């Protein structure tokens, strides 16, 4: 029988698989849900190996099990839900609200318990609509699925919801939910936010016609003169960006799996079999500042690159979606790195001011959960300084993120470098962002496709700080998995300039200076 099944065309195989799944569900001999799921995966794996195809998702949009199936996968209608977590709520979150005595309480729990709690909440919400079924998939297993990982499937009066559980963030990405379901979830204190579009204005690219000047390496001991005592060996940095051009000569010294790449679609789901690419040039520029053999501050660091800005808007801005950002972040802190257990440092050379309050609170909790995994999150403060204080970006604005501002080669704060208050800082006694500054003006680094370019922006200062953290962690390995202590140690490697006395809020603790790393 199996030989005949494997000989079917993809559309016929999907129909046969769904039909057989119904048989398994109705058979007493296959009562265990996990056993049925393993059987499905075995069929899919055998079929993919036999036919040499990567995914069956494109074939699942046809007729399934003889019933007309309406499959909706639009990312613009997807939603993200997060469990309430009092550790990362602002002061307003602790105030009692009418009906709060009827809410389910969710103390901080393990990953397994969080998944159970989310399923419990969803089943509660689904009582608002009869004949509704939920299929929740771990993000690490989405590549095995025949159907789209985030989808809303209607068959007659029945509704099937398929969603992705982001293990490290305590979040779920789901297809469009009906309003009664959303109302029930929000009554339980759960954040339900739309899959908002995130627009990031990239720095202007000025391709170099002369040899590059890697002046940003002056933050290293001896002004960047090689050889370095520390080069990032054994340390992992994750990048949330546009991707990477791994064929650039700056990365020719990398061997084996020293650079790992994953691409995420607009629903935050990993794209199976995606080859490394840069959807702009920003990611390659940032990666080279971290790990390039000439431009790099930590040339031996392990890089994990999550491509989460994969589109361009009509005005040239880089575009991604909230789910993409969370999907990439979840992979970085949960599965990336040389050992597959997450990176130690996450660099987010991106930011946006255009988030709703609900988006902000969700991002606040998600990044807090990422920190629980032991990762330090570093982000660019933003390039709206010419507009005055308070125009800085998320996620750098969050109190548990290391926000980085920009200076030029003469130690002058860049006019575009933002500053302002932290989100989550109840006292708000003084502007506390950025936390630190680094080189961010006329930064020469790799350009996708070959060659070098100059760019300006705090998004180039951020990888300088991420790389500095890698070198500090290499010297002090006992700080591994302790993001707070590692951040405090980072602040000890700073210097101040007397000319900054009147602009102290714009520089935080000062400029990164790694001279103290010398033995």
Tokens of 51: 């036919």
CA distance 35 to 24: 9
CA distance 110 to 123: 20
How far apart, in Å, are the Cα atoms of 460 and each of 54, 61, 251, 296? 36, 42, 18, 12
Tell me which of 60, 78, 114, 282 is the catalytic residue: 282
Q: Are 437 and 508 in contact (CB under 8 A)?
A: yes
Half-sphere exposure of 220 (CA within 13 A, CB side): 26
* Residues, the chain: 519
Query: Any catalytic annotation for residue 282?
Result: yes
CA distance 331 to 334: 5
Tokens of 80: 């993200």
Tell me which of 459, 461, 466, 467 is the catalytic residue: 459
Q: Are 85 and 117 in contact (CB under 8 A)?
A: no
Among 497, 500, 436, CA closest to 468: 436
Please give the span between the terminal C-alpha atoms of the chain, in angstroms, as a whole number.
68
CA distance 240 to 264: 11
Residue 505 burial by CB count (10 A; 0-12/13-18/19+): exposed, middle or buried? middle
Query: Any catalytic annotation for residue 459?
Result: yes
Q: Are 460 and 437 in contact (CB under 8 A)?
A: no
Bond from prior residue into 312 cis (ω within 30 degrees of 0): no
Quick count: other Cβ atoms within 10 Å of Cβ 29?
7
Tell me which of 78, 114, 241, 467 is the catalytic residue: 241
CA distance 203 to 206: 9
> Which segments of 349-471 are extended strands (E)?
376-380, 402-407, 436-439, 443-446, 452-455
Catalytic residues: 241, 282, 459
């Amino acid at each position: 029988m199996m030989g005949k099944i494997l000989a079917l065309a993809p559309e016929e195989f999907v129909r046969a698989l769904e039909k057989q799944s119904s048989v398994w569900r109705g058979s007493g001999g296959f009562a265990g849900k996990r056993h049925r799921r393993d059987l499905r995966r075995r069929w899919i794996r055998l079929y993919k190996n036999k036919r040499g195809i990567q995914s069956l998702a494109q074939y699942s949009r046809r007729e399934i099990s003889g019933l007309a199936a309406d499959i909706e996968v639009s990312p613009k209608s997807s939603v993200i839900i997060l469990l309430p977590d009092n550790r990362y709520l602002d002061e307003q979150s602790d105030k009692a609200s009418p009906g709060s005595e009827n809410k389910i309480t969710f103390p901080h729990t393990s990953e397994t318990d969080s998944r159970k709690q989310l399923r419990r909440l969803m089943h509660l919400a689904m009582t608002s609509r009869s004949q509704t079924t939920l299929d929740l998939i771990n993000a690490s297993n989405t590549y095995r699925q025949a159907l789209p990982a985030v989808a809303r499937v209607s068959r007659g009066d029945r509704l099937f919801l398929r969603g992705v559980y982001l293990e490290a963030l305590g979040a779920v990405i789901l297809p469009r939910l009906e309003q009664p379901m959303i109302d029930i979830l929000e009554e339980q204190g759960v954040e339900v936010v739309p899959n908002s579009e995130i627009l990031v204005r990239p720095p202007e690219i000025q391709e170099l016609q002369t040899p590059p000047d890697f002046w940003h390496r002056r933050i290293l001991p001896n002004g960047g003169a090689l050889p370095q005592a520390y080069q990032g060996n054994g340390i992992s940095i994750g990048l949330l960006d546009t991707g990477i051009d791994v064929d650039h000569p700056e990365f020719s010294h990398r061997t084996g799996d020293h650079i790992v790449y994953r691409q995420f679609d607009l629903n935050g789901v990993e794209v199976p079999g995606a080859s490394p690419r840069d959807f702009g040039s920003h990611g390659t520029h940032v990666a080279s500042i971290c790990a390039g053999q000439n431009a790099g501050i930590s040339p031996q660091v392990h890089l994990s690159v999550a491509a989460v800005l994969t589109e361009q808007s009509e005005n040239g801005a880089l575009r991604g979606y909230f789910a993409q950002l969370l999907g990439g972040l979840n992979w970085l802190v949960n599965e990336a790195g040389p050992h597959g257990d997450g990176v130690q440092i996450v660099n987010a050379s991106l930011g946006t001011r255009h988030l709703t309050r609900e988006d902000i609170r969700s991002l606040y909790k998600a990044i807090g959960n990422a920190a629980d995994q032991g990762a330090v999150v570093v982000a660019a403060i933003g390039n709206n300084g010419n507009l005055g204080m308070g125009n800085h970006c998320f996620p750098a604005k969050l109190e548990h993120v290391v926000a980085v501002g920009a200076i030029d080669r003469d130690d002058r704060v860049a006019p575009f470098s933002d500053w302002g208050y932290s989100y989550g800082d109840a006292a708000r006694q003084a502007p506390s962002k950025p936390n630190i500054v680094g080189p961010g003006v006329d930064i020469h680094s790799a350009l996708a496709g070959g060659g070098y370019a100059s760019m300006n922006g705090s998004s180039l200062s951020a990888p300088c700080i991420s790389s500095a953290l890698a070198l500090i962690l290499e010297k002090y390995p006992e700080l591994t998995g302790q993001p707070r202590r590692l951040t405090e140690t980072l602040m000890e490697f700073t210097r101040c300039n007397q000319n900054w006395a009147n602009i102290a809020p714009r520089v935080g603790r000062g400029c990164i200076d790694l001279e103290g790393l010398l033995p």
